[in-house]
A and B are shown apart, each in its own frame.
Chain A
Amino acid sequence: MRFTFLVLLFCSCIVSITAQVISSELEDINFTMPSSPAFDLLGVSPSNIHKPGLPRDIQVNWLIHGGGLAPNLAIEAEPIWLFFNRNKSLTEYQNAGWWFQTASSLNFSVGTAKVDNQQSLAYGLKLNLFNAADPLLDKDLIEQLAPKFSAEETACNQLILDIQITTDEVVKDSLNNVLATLKTIIATDSVRNMKMAKDALSNWEGENWNATMLDIGFGQVFNYNLPTVFELTDTTINVVDSIEFSSRTYAIWLSGIIGLGNNGMVNGMVKYTRDNDGTGGLKAGLNARYGNQKVNIYAEYVYNTISKLRNNIAYGVDYRLENGLVIQASLNTMFNNEFELKQLVPTVNFAYQPNMKKSN
């Protein structure tokens, strides 16, 4: 187990460091605010229903779950995209077919969470099986983003040629003056054109934030008991000073999104989990969202056969800031079989996607 932990930690560090170098140079489109599979597996995500998403290069999540400020962290990345497919051309990606495009979406995440007296570590692998709005396959978007000469730039080209063929020095000087003025206009226009390209991306994101998607995932959770404060302070008890393995859980899930008009989205999930002692169960639910790519509110219902509190209803909000920071907050209400309220769990997650918007 220690070996597995070290391998996971090593992989996450390598992916994290490499991804940070690469992602700073990437113009990425990511508008879906997908949830972290590791936090989903640990059961501490703001939403209990995994939300599929487009590949992003890297995402770091810091989560406050229930009371306190426990350092629950998750890191995730798309290793196949980052290390292999990012270096392929757009044409190769477009012509490669479903397998290649699906492999690009492989997402690896690792995270830890502390709940009560238990520390848990989880890793998750997920694949995007279907995505109705991949920007790399949208020819209209690519045509819109492809650089074109403006009228001023075309005039500038012709002026350069006029200067080349003119023998009269006076005319040449005046043409050079016009060229200098034109270059100033072009410099100003290039800022405007960059803004127009950003607006085109932003509009595309707005139109496709609730595009249909389907994800499949697999993951494992390792649970460890922590020594209690009583055990640590009582010198008469011989306490083991490190965490102690308690259980392991496997999970496999299928989750999808269907858009409803411009502002609605329905997100569903079915998850099967199995503990190392052989007990298993299902978790299934639906989440309804209203909003846009920047801010959306949701309500969800999840039926959980694993827990005594089988009925979960959560309310939440996702808010995406300009600098790549996403804030997700929720209130999870948990009910027993008789629908009596037994627990209220507030959760706040800060997700940082460094390459989501590049300002240059």
Chain B
Amino acid sequence: MNKSTVTFRYKTKPILLEVESGYSTLGSFFIYALHGSSYIELFMERNKNIHQDDFVHIFLLPFDTEKLSKTKLYIFGKYGPAPRHNQVFVEYNFLQDDKELEVDKKKSNLIEATLGASSQRFFNVFEFEFKK
């Protein structure tokens, strides 16, 4: 599990999650939001599979930014390299007001691995902190 804290600057502006599947990654991912004693799967209806590497998926997070500090975002990914490739690269970025938000631990929002022909599951948790 990779845990990170994302700092956001505006309580009124929406936050976007950008999932970039770099080359040569194929796979699948699930996004869950955990708030207090309950959790829900986000964007259930979308196609959860990545069949093209070098692809960007953008999601508008349906959170009330006032309550964001008490919300955790869980991303479960299962990734593997495309045929004749051996590495995976996935980046989870958060954007607000067209600017990339800061993640406390450098590279904690990145998945980089050399897997050969196999696939692997990755588990990332994001917490949010408001800072003016």
Contacts and interface: CB of A to CB of B under 8 A. Distances in A.
B74 to A, nearest CB: 6
A25 B36 CA distance: 44
Interface string B24-57: 1011101010101111000000001111111100
B78 A27 contact: no
A89 B83 contact: no
Interface in B87-111: none
B121 interface: yes
B83 A29 contact: yes
Contacts of B48: 149
Given A29-B83, A142-B83, A146-B27, A153 B121 contact: yes
A161 interface: yes
Contacts of A149: 28, 30, 48, 76, 78
A147 B79 CA distance: 6
A25 B53 contact: no
Given A157-B30, A165-B34, A89 B79 contact: no
B78 A91 contact: no
Contacts of B84: 26-29, 86, 135-136
11 contacts: A26-B85, A27-B117, A88-B23, A90-B82, A135-B83, A136-B82, A146-B51, A148-B49, A161-B32, A197-B117, A358-B116
Given A143-B49, A360-B116, 20 more contacts: A25-B116, A27-B83, A28-B84, A90-B23, A90-B24, A91-B52, A92-B54, A135-B83, A136-B82, A139-B51, A145-B83, A146-B26, A148-B27, A148-B28, A153-B78, A153-B121, A160-B74, A161-B74, A165-B36, A358-B116
Interface of B: 22-24, 26-28, 30, 32, 34, 36-39, 48-55, 72, 74, 76, 78-86, 114, 116-119, 121, 123
